[in-house]
Amino acid sequence: MNKNLYGFAALFKTPDEIIEAAKKTAEAGYQKYDIHSPYPVHGIDRAMKLKASKLGFITLVFGLTGSAIALLLMYWTMSVDYPMIIGGKPFFALPAFVPITFELTVLLATLATVIGMITFFFRFPENDHPLHDTEYMKKVSCDHYGLVIEAKDKLFNETKVRELLNSLRPLSIEEIYYPEKETYPVLETKFVTFLILIALLTSGVTYFALNKLLYMQPFTWMMDQPKLNPQKQSTLFADGFGMRSPIKGTVARGFLPYPFTGQNAPTDVLLNPYLPTKENLQLGEQKYLTFCSPCHGNFGDGDSRLRGQFPNPPSLHSTRAREFSDGMIYHIITNGQNVMPSYASQITREERWAIVNYIRVLQRAKNAKSSDLQVVNKETGTNASN
Amino acid sequence: MHIDYSQEAPVIAGRLTLSQIEELVAHPLETKPDKKYFIALSISSSLLLIGAICLGLTFYYGTGLWGINQPVGWAFDIVNFVFWVGIGHAGTLISAILFLLRQKWRTGIARFAEAMTIFAVMCAGLFPAIHTGRPWLDGYLLPYPNQHGLWVNFTSPLLWDVFAVSTYFTVSLVFWYIGLIPDFATLRDRTTSSFKKTIYSIFSLGWRHSSRHWQHYEKAYMLLAGFATPLVLSVHTIVSFDFAVSILPGWHTTIFPPYFVAGAIFSGFAMVVTVLVFVRKIFNLENIITLDHLEKMNKVILATGMMVGYAYGMEFFIAWYSGVQAEQFVFINRAFGPYAWAYWIMVSCNVIFPQLFWFRKFRRSIPVMFVIVILVNVGMWFERFVITVTSLHRDFLPSSWGYFKPTLFDIGILLGSFGLFFTLVILFTKSLPVVSISEVKAVADGAQPTHRGGHHE
Cβ distance A44 to A37 under 8 Å? Answer: yes
Contact A129 B155 (CB under 8 A): no
The long-range contacts involving B218-221, CB below 8 angstroms and separated by at least 24 positions, are: B218/A40, B219/A53, B219/A55, B219/A56, B220/A55, B220/A113, B220/A114, B220/A117, B220/B178, B221/B99, B221/B178, B221/B179
Cβ distance A372 to A364 under 8 Å? Answer: yes
Residue B1: the pLDDT is 55
- Sign for the CA dihedral angle at B433, B435, B439, B444 comes to negative
Task: Quickly list H helices, A77-118.
Answer: 94-115
Helix orientation angle between B107-131 and B408-431, rounded to the nearest 10 degrees: 150
Contact A111 B217 (CB under 8 A): no
Residue A108: the pLDDT is 97
Contact B171 A110 (CB under 8 A): yes
B165/B234 Cα distance (integer angstroms): 10
Contact A127 B446 (CB under 8 A): no
Residue B284 — left, alpha, or beta (φ > 0 → left; ψ -120 to 50 → alpha)?
A: left
Residue A381: the pLDDT is 77
| Local confidence band at B121 (pLDDT 50, 70, 90 cut-offs) | very high
Identity at B290, one-letter amino acid code: T
- Between A and B, how many residue pairs show a Cβ–Cβ distance under 8 A? 201
Closest chain A residue to the Cα of B439, Cα to Cα: A39
Quote the mean pLDDT of chain B.
92
Estimate to the nearest angstrom the gap between the alpha carbon of B321 and the chain centroid.
34
What are the tens digits of pLDDT across the range A60-96? 999 999 999 999 999 999 999 999 888 888 999 999 9
Candidates B59, B238, B449; nearest CB to A15:
B449
Mutate which of B169, B211, B440 to disrupt the A interface (most A C-beta within 10 Å)? B211
How many residues does the structure list for chain B? 457
- How confident is the model over B144-163, as a mean pLDDT? 92
Contact B438 A38 (CB under 8 A): yes
Identity at A211, one-letter amino acid code: N
Report which of residues A308 and A171 the model is more confident about. A171
Instruction: Give DSSP secondary structure letters for B337-364.
Output: STTHHHHHHHHIIIIIGGGGGGSHHHHT
What are the chain B neighbours of A53 within 8 Å (beta carbons)? 215-216, 219
Contact A38 B241 (CB under 8 A): no
Question: Does A179 lie at the interface with B, CB-CB under 8 angstroms?
Answer: no
Mutate which of B18, B209, B241 to disrupt the A interface (most A C-beta within 10 Å)? B209
Residue B2: the pLDDT is 66
What are the chain B neighbours of A73 within 8 Å (beta carbons)? 143
Identity at A159, one-letter amino acid code: T
Q: Which residues contact A9 (CB under 8 A, 6 or more apart)?
A: A131, A134, A136, A146, A147, A148, A173, A174, A175, A176
Question: Does A117 lie at the interface with B, CB-CB under 8 angstroms?
Answer: yes
What are the chain B neighbours of A218 within 8 Å (beta carbons)? 59-62, 134
A 92-111: CB under 8 A from B: 93, 96-97, 99-100, 102-104, 106-107, 109-111
What are the chain B neighbours of A66 within 8 Å (beta carbons)? none
The CA distance from B171 to the nearest CA of chain A, in Å, is 7
- How confident is the model over B274-300, as a mean pLDDT? 91
The CA distance from B163 to the nearest CA of chain A, in Å, is 6
Candidates A93, A110, A143; nearest CB to B18:
A143
Mutate which of B140, B223, B239, B438 to disrupt the A interface (most A C-beta within 10 Å)? B223
Contact A121 B241 (CB under 8 A): no
What are the tens digits of pLDDT across the range B403-451? 999 999 999 999 999 999 999 999 999 999 999 999 999 988 888 888 6
Contact B167 A103 (CB under 8 A): yes
Residue B452: the pLDDT is 56
What are the tens digits of pLDDT across the range A4-25? 899 999 999 999 999 999 999 9
What are the chain A neighbours of B435 within 8 Å (beta carbons)? none
**Among the listed residues B405, B429, B353, the one whose alpha carbon sits nearest the alpha carbon of residue B38:** B429
Contact B211 A143 (CB under 8 A): no
What are the tens digits of pLDDT across the range B301-333? 999 999 999 999 999 999 999 999 999 999 999
The CA distance from B94 to the nearest CA of chain A, in Å, is 18
Contact B211 A45 (CB under 8 A): yes
Residue B456: the pLDDT is 47
Q: What is the C-alpha end-to-end distance of chain B, expressed in Å?
A: 34
Question: Does A15 lie at the interface with B, CB-CB under 8 angstroms?
Answer: yes
Contact A39 B205 (CB under 8 A): no
Question: Does A88 lie at the interface with B, CB-CB under 8 angstroms?
Answer: no
Residue A385: the pLDDT is 66
The CA distance from B356 to the nearest CA of chain A, in Å, is 38
Identity at B170, one-letter amino acid code: T
Identity at A378, one-letter amino acid code: K
| Angle in degrees, CA A168, A169, A171, rounded to 5 | 125
Number of H helices, E strands in chain B: 17, 0
What are the tens digits of pLDDT across the range B67-119? 999 899 999 999 999 999 999 998 888 889 899 998 888 888 899 999 999 99
Percent of chain A with pLDDT over 70: 98
Task: Tell me the CB-side half-sphere exposure of residue A82, using CA atoms within 13 A.
Answer: 14
The CA distance from B324 to the nearest CA of chain A, in Å, is 22
Q: Which residues contact A95 (CB under 8 A, 6 or more apart)?
A: none
What are the chain A neighbours of B214 within 8 Å (beta carbons)? 37, 39-40, 44
- Residue B240's CB is within 10 A of a number of other CB atoms, namely 24
Quote the mean pLDDT of chain A.
89
Question: Does A81 lie at the interface with B, CB-CB under 8 angstroms?
Answer: yes
Contact A103 B446 (CB under 8 A): no
What are the chain A neighbours of B150 within 8 Å (beta carbons)? 82
Question: Does A126 lie at the interface with B, CB-CB under 8 angstroms?
Answer: yes
Residue A39: the pLDDT is 94
The CA distance from B155 to the nearest CA of chain A, in Å, is 5
What are the chain B neighbours of A59 within 8 Å (beta carbons)? 223
Helix orientation angle between A326-335 and A349-366, rounded to the nearest 10 degrees: 130
Question: Does A41 lie at the interface with B, CB-CB under 8 angstroms?
Answer: yes
Cβ distance A98 to B161 under 8 Å? Answer: no
Contact B213 A121 (CB under 8 A): yes
The CA distance from A41 to the nearest CA of chain B, in Å, is 6
pLDDT at B201 over 80: yes
Question: Does A61 lie at the interface with B, CB-CB under 8 angstroms?
Answer: no
B185/A131 Cα distance (integer angstroms): 12
| Angle in degrees, CA A231, A233, A236, rounded to 5 | 125
What are the tens digits of pLDDT across the range B336-376? 999 999 999 999 999 999 999 999 999 999 999 999 999 99
- Three-class DSSP category at A42: coil
Question: Does A90 lie at the interface with B, CB-CB under 8 angstroms?
Answer: no
Residue A147: burial class (beta carbons within 10 Å; 0-12, 13-18, 19+): buried
pLDDT at B455 over 60: no
Interface ipTM: 0.93
Cβ distance B390 to B333 under 8 Å? Answer: yes
Residue B457: the pLDDT is 43
